[in-house]
Amino acid sequence: MCTPETNLPPLAQAASARPPCPAGCRITALDARAPPWESGRARLWPGLAPPLSVYRWLAGADARASRARADVEFAERIAQIHQESDGAYRAPRVTAELKDSGLRVNHKRVERVLRTFHIVGLHLRKKVRTTIPEPWATPVPDLLQRDFTAQVPNTKYVGDITYLPVGTSHFL
């Protein structure tokens, strides 16, 4: 029977208090995902018992906790490889290092753990700057004052032209 203040059965109420993340890790994508009883279906039909997926979600709590613990251990190993490379390695090279050490691992799992634990490698590519303004050019005044909403149709037209060819070889 659902209680009127939460519309959840007692079993679901007891499980809604999640245990803290093991080993002081940051919250993972699996932990941050809302339980099934907080879905749109519960909001559409309040007072109804949650679907069977709630009980499946509750039954999988041990599997999610063990996966989180395994991810923490895996992240420690990845952090060690990342530190040995002076912070240069990203997902492909970390995956190759793990495979060279004899561990069977999928690149998607490595990417997920790197993303979850905020481990970032070096980005060596130089930023490309495509438009270099002339130093003598005066900036164009902002006639709309960044207000692009029109009260009446056909009163404000806005466009952005970076390169406009003029003649055969010059750009405006």
Confidence (pLDDT) at 31: 42
- What tens-digit pLDDT sequence spans the chain (172 residues)? 444 444 444 434 444 444 444 444 443 444 445 565 555 555 555 555 566 777 888 888 899 999 999 999 999 999 999 999 999 999 999 999 999 999 999 999 999 999 999 999 888 788 888 778 888 888 888 888 888 888 899 888 887 766 676 777 666 5
Confidence (pLDDT) at 4: 43
| Residue 44, CA distances (Å) to 8, 37, 48, 98 in order | 14, 11, 10, 47
Positive or negative: CA dihedral 29, 30, 34, 36: positive
Domain contains 121: no
Confidence (pLDDT) at 91: 92
Q: Tokens 């279906």 identify what position?
A: 41
Q: Which of 69, 68, 60, 62 is nearest to 28 (CA)?
A: 68
pTM of the model: 0.46
Q: From the CA atom positions of the chain, what is the Rg in Å?
A: 27
Number of domains in the chain: 1
What is the domain range of residue 82?
Answer: 10-116
Domain contains 85: yes
Domain contains 72: yes
Domain contains 29: yes
